[in-house]
C-alpha cells in the first residue's frame, strides 16, 4: 500500500522509466542486434523495383545520312481481367475493343473472360490482348482508360524498321529475341542496343520513385549508339538492280557485287542476291537458316584465274623473276603428281607476263609458283595478301577462308601449282577484293570497313580512320603498279566486253570450278571479274561474281558473263561516284 | 498532539504546489519547436513526393517524345526511301536513267 503522493509519484516515474527503458531496449534490439534480420523485411515494405520505358536502339545510316535501319514504336495491349466485370460487361468490352485491336469480339471475349477460383477473388490476373500494334491505337486506349477502363494496360516497345526494305539485307542483318543474329546488327549490337537497368528503392504510393532515388543515378537509361556506314544507299540500290538483271540474264543461281574504295578500304556497296527480308527473319528461320550468312564475307569459294594476278605480283615482288620474264608454254606442266593444262588445252609457245594474264594461262602461273618461287615464298605472299585470315570488316560470322599451308599434314606439292591459279584455295569475295585492292593502291591493302562513324548518345562522334590492313604492305609500290598496268593492258587488249568507254580499267576474270564430293562439278562454275578504275589513280574497285550461270555452256566464262555485267554498270556507277572519265582528265592535262 | 495525529484526525488540505513559469515556457517552446520541425519535415516530404512525381512524369514525357520522334523519323524515311522516290518520280513524268535516249543535234 503506497501512502502519500511522493511515493505514488516515485512509482509512476519508475514505471514510466521502465517502459522507456523497455522501448529503448527494443529499439536497440531491432535496429542493432537483429538489424540484419529485419532490414530485408523493412526494405520489402518500403522499396519497390522501378524502371523507365526502353529508349530506342541506335539507328543505322548510310554515308549520306539516309536512314537504313530505324526504330518504330509499337505497343502491346493487355488487361487485368479480374477487374473487367461480369459476363455482360465483358461482352460489351469485347465488342467495344474489337475495332481498336482489330480482333474478333469472340476472340477478345475469350481472353477477357475470367472466372476467379473461389477464395482467390482478389488475385490480380493480367492477360495480353494484342501485340505489336501501331501508334494509332494509343489515343483509343488512353481515352478508354480515362472513361474508367483503367485496367487496360499499354506497354510501349520498339521494333527495328528497315527503311529500304531488303536493301543490303546481308550487310545490315538482324538480331533475334535471343540476341543471336547476322550482319552489322549482330556484330555491333552492344553499341546499338540501349542500356536500361532496373533499380529498387523507396517509392511513393503511386509507385513513383522518390526524387532523391533518381538523383542517386541508380537507374541507368541510355539510348543506343547511332552508326553511319560507308555504304551509299543509291549505289547499293543501283548495284543490286544490276545484279538482279545479271542473274536473270545469265540464269545464275546467286551472285555478289562488291564496290569498294581501294584508297581507304571503305565498302560503298555490298550486294548479294537472292536476298531475304531482315524484318521478317522469323519466316525463314525454320526452313532456310543458311540464307542469312552474307555471301560476301561469310561464304568462301575458289576464285580461279583471278588469283593469277596475285601469283604474278608475288613472283615479281619476291625477285624470283624480272618484269621481262618469259617462258615457253607447252600447254602442260606436271608437278606434285598432277598434270596441269591450260583452260583451252592449248600450247601458247613463248609467253611473257602480259601474255600469261591476257590468255589466263594456268601453266604460266604454275610455272611461276613451282619453278621460280617455291612453296615457302609463295605462301608467305598468300598470307601477306590476307588469305586465310579475317579481314575484320565488322560484320558477324566473317569467314577466314581455306588455305592449305606446307606445314599442314594434308598439304601436298600439288597444292602449290593449283593454288597459283586459284584452285584448291578458298576465300571470301571480300578477301579477294581486298587483295586486288593492293594492286590498285600502290601495294597497300587498306583494312575494309563498313562503319564510318559512331554517334554516341552523349553527343560524342567517333569517326573510323582508314588504316592499313597489315603493318607491312604485301608488295612494293613498283610491283603493284607494274601488275596493275598489265591488268589495264589485258582489259584493253583481250576483255573487250569489260571496256568502259572514257575510262581506263584494269581487271582480271576468273572462272572457277565448284568442288563437289570426289572432285569438281563437270558443268557448273562460278564466274567472276575484279576491276579497278580509273587508271592510273583508281578510285573504285568492283568485284562481280556470278554463281552457276546457266547460259550456253561454252559461254560460261568470266569474260562472257561477269565482265559484261561490270561493263554495263560501270559507266553509271562512275557517274554516281563523281569519277570523271580518264580521257577527259588526259585531255584537260594536255 | 503531534502533527501526524493532527493530519489523521483533521486531515490536511492538498498542498497547492506552484508550477514554475520557466518550466512551462520551456515546455511550450519545446512543443512548438517539435511541431515546427515536424511540419517542416512533412512539408519537405510532400515537396519531395511532388518533385518525384513531376520528375517521373518528365521522364515518361521524354520517352513519349522519343517514341513520337521515332515514329516521325521512320515516316520520313519511308517517304524518302528509294522505291517511294522512284514511284513519285515516275508519277511526275521522270524516266529511268536507262530509258533516256540522247538526241545528238549537229552544230550549224
For B52-77, write each residue's pLDDT tens digit: 888 888 888 988 898 999 999 999 99
Per-chain mean pLDDT for chain A:
90
Residue A518 binned pLDDT confidence (cut-offs 50, 70, 90): confident
* Residue A539 counted as domain residue: yes
Mutate which: A136, A211, A245, A569, vs B, most B CBs within 10 A: A211
Does residue A453 carry a pLDDT above 80? yes
The shortest CB-CB distance from B63 to any of A52, A71, A234 is to: A52
For residue B61, the chain A residues in CB contact (below 8 A) are: none
Mind giving me the DSSP string for A398-439? ----B---TTSTT--HHHHHHHHTT-S-BB-HHHHHHHHHHH
Summarised one tens digit per residue, pLDDT across range A102-117 is 888 888 888 888 887 7
Confidence of residue B107 (pLDDT cuts 50, 70, 90): low
**A53 in contact with B, Cβ within 8 Å:** yes
A580 domain residue, yes or no: yes
CB contact under 8 A, B52 and A211: yes
The answer to the question of residue A254 being in a domain is yes
Q: How many domains in chain A?
A: 2
Q: What is the pLDDT of residues A32-74, one digit of tens each?
A: 999 999 888 887 777 888 888 888 999 999 999 999 999 999 9
Does residue A261 share a domain with residue A134? no
DSSP secondary structure letter of residue A340: E
What percent of chain B has pLDDT above 90? 40
Q: Kindly identify which residue of chain A lies nearest to residue B47, measuring between CA atoms.
A: A211
Kindly determine whether residue A164 and residue B81, on different chains, have CB atoms separated by under 8 Å.
yes
Q: Is the pLDDT of residue A310 over 90?
A: yes
The three grid cell numbers given for residue A130, joined into one nine-digit string: 494484342
Please say if the pLDDT value at position A87 is more than 90: no
Whether residue A45 lies inside any domain: the answer is no
| Structure-block grid coordinates of residue B50 | 511532388
Determine if the pTM surpasses 0.90.
no
Establish if A72 touches chain B: CB-CB under 8 angstroms.
yes
Looking at beta carbons, which residues of chain A come within 8 Å of B84? Answer: none
Sorting pLDDT into bands at 50, 70 and 90, what band is B5? low
Query: What would the mean pLDDT of B68-97 be, rounded to a whole number?
Result: 91
Residue of B nearest to A207 (CA): B53
Which CATH number covers residue A548? 3.40.710.10
At residue A78, does pLDDT exceed 70? yes
Give the whole-angstrom CA distance, residue A298 versus residue A426: 12
Residue A136 lies in a domain: yes
Mean pLDDT of A320-335: 94
Instruction: Give the rounded percent of residues in chain A with a pLDDT score beyond 90.
Output: 60
Which residues have C-beta within 8 Å of that of residue A465, sequence separation ≥ 6? none
State the residue range of the domain holding A129.
Answer: 74-81+125-160
Amino acid A2: pLDDT? 59
pLDDT at A289: 65
pLDDT category of residue A404 using cuts at 50, 70 and 90: very high
pLDDT digits (tens, 9 = 90+) for A533-571: 998 899 999 999 999 999 887 788 888 899 999 999 998
How many angstroms separate the Cα of A579 from the Cα of each of A53, A234, A487, A567? 48, 15, 20, 15
Q: Does A154 touch chain B if contact means CB atoms closer than 8 Å?
A: no
Structure confidence by residue, pLDDT tens digits, A153-202: 888 999 999 999 999 999 999 998 888 889 999 999 999 999 888 888 88
Return the domain boundaries, chain B: 19-92
Q: Measured between CB atoms, which of B55, B80, B97 is closest to A572?
A: B97
pLDDT for position A588: 54
Residue A93 located in a structural domain: no
Whole-angstrom distance, CA of residue A264 vs CA of residue A452: 11
Same domain, A153 and A249: no
In this structure, are A383 and A285 located in the same domain? Answer: yes
| A97 vs A116: CA distance, rounded Å | 22
pLDDT at B2: 57
> What sections of A76-223 are H helices per DSSP?
87-101, 105-112, 136-146, 169-172, 183-187, 189-192, 211-215
Amino acid at each position: 500500500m503506497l501512502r502519500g503522493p511522493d511515493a505514488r509519484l516515485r512509482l509512476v516515474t519508475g514505471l514510466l522509466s521502465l517502459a522507456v527503458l523497455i522501448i529503448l531496449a527494443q529499439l536497440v534490439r531491432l535496429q542493432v542486434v537483429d538489424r540484419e534480420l529485419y532490414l530485408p523485411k523493412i526494405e520489402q515494405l518500403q522499396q519497390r523495383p522501378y524502371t523507365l520505358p526502353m529508349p530506342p536502339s541506335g539507328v543505322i545510316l548510310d554515308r549520306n545520312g539516309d536512314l537504313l535501319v530505324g526504330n518504330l514504336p509499337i505497343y502491346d495491349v493487355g488487361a487485368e481481367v479480374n477487374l473487367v466485370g461480369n459476363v455482360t460487361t465483358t461482352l460489351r468490352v469485347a465488342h467495344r475493343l474489337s475495332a481498336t485491336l482489330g480482333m474478333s469480339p469472340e476472340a477478345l471475349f475469350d481472353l477477357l473472360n475470367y472466372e476467379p477460383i473461389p477464395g482467390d477473388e482478389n488475385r490480380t490476373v493480367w492477360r495480353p490482348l494484342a501485340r505489336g500494334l501501331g501508334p494509332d491505337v494509343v489515343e483509343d486506349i488512353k481515352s478508354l482508360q480515362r472513361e474508367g477502363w483503367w485496367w487496360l494496360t499499354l506497354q510501349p516497345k520498339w521494333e527495328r524498321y528497315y527503311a529500304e526494305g531488303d536493301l543490303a539485307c546481308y550487310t545490315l542483318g538482324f538480331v533475334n529475341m535471343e540476341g543471336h543474329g547476322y550482319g552489322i546488327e549482330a556484330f555491333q549490337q552492344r553499341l546499338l542496343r540501349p542500356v536500361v537497368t532496373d533499380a529498387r528503392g523507396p517509392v511513393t504510393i503511386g509507385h513513383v520513385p522518390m526524387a532523391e532515388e533518381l538523383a542517386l543515378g541508380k537507374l541507368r537509361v541510355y539510348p543506343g549508339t547511332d552508326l553511319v556506314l560507308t555504304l551509299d544507299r543509291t549505289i547499293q540500290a543501283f548495284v543490286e538492280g544490276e545484279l538482279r538483271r545479271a542473274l536473270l540474264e545469265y540464269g545464275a543461281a546467286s551472285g555478289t557485287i562488291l564496290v569498294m574504295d581501294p584508297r581507304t578500304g571503305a565498302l560503298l556497296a555490298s550486294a548479294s542476291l537472292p536476298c531475304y527480308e531482315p524484318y521478317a527473319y522469323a519466316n525463314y528461320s525454320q526452313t532456310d537458316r543458311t540464307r542469312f550468312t552474307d555471301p560476301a564475307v561469310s561464304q568462301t569459294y575458289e576464285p580461279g584465274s583471278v588469283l593469277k594476278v596475285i601469283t604474278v605480283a608475288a613472283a615479281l615482288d619476291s625477285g624470283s623473276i624480272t618484269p621481262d620474264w618469259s617462258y615457253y608454254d607447252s600447254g602442260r606442266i606436271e608437278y606434285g603428281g598432277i598434270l596441269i593444262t591450260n583452260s583451252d588445252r592449248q600450247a601458247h609457245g613463248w609467253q611473257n607476263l602480259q601474255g600469261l594474264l591476257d590468255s589466263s594461262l594456268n601453266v604460266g602461273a604454275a610455272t611461276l609458283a613451282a619453278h621460280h618461287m617455291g612453296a615457302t615464298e609463295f605462301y608467305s605472299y598468300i598470307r601477306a595478301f590476307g588469305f586465310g585470315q579475317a579481314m575484320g570488316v565488322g560484320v558477324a560470322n566473317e569467314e577466314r577462308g581455306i588455305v592449305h599451308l606446307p606445314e599442314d599434314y594434308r598439304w601436298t606439292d600439288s597444292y602449290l601449282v593449283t593454288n597459283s591459279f586459284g584452285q584448291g584455295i578458298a576465300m571470301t569475295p571480300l578477301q579477294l577484293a581486298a587483295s586486288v585492292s593492293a594492286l590498285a593502291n600502290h601495294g597497300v591493302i587498306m583494312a575494309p570497313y563498313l562503319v564510318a562513324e559512331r554517334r554516341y548518345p552523349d553527343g560524342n562522334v567517333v569517326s573510323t580512320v582508314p588504316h592499313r590492313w597489315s603493318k607491312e604492305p604485301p608488295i612494293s609500290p613498283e610491283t603493284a603498279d607494274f601488275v596493275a598496268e598489265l591488268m589495264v593492258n589485258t582489259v584493253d587488249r583481250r576483255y573487250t566486253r569489260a571496256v568502259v568507254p572514257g575510262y581506263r580499267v584494269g581487271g582480271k576474270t576468273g572462272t572457277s570450278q565448284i568442288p563437289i564430293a570426289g572432285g569438281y562439278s563437270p558443268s557448273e562454275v562460278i564466274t567472276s571479274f575484279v576491276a579497278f578504275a580509273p587508271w592510273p589513280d583508281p578510285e573504285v574497285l568492283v568485284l562481280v561474281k556470278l554463281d552457276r550461270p546457266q547460259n550456253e555452256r561454252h559461254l560460261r566464262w568470266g569474260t562472257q558473263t561477269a565482265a559484261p555485267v561490270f561493263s554495263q554498270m560501270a559507266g553509271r556507277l562512275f557517274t554516281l561516284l563523281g569519277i570523271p572519265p580518264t580521257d577527259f582528265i588526259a585531255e584537260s592535262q594536255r | 498532539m503531534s502533527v501526524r495525529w493532527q493530519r489523521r484526525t483533521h486531515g490536511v488540505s492538498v498542498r497547492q504546489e506552484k508550477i514554475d513559469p520557466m518550466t512551462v515556457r520551456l515546455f511550450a517552446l519545446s512543443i512548438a519547436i517539435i511541431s515546427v520541425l515536424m511540419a517542416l519535415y512533412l512539408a519537405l516530404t510532400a515537396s519531395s513526393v511532388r518533385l518525384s512525381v513531376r520528375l517521373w512524369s518528365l521522364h515518361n514525357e521524354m520517352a513519349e517524345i522519343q517514341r513520337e520522334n521515332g515514329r516521325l523519323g521512320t515516316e520520313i524515311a519511308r517517304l524518302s526511301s528509294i522505291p517511294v522516290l522512284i514511284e513519285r518520280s515516275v508519277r511526275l513524268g521522270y524516266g529511268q536513267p536507262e530509258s533516256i535516249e540522247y538526241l545528238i543535234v549537229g552544230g550549224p
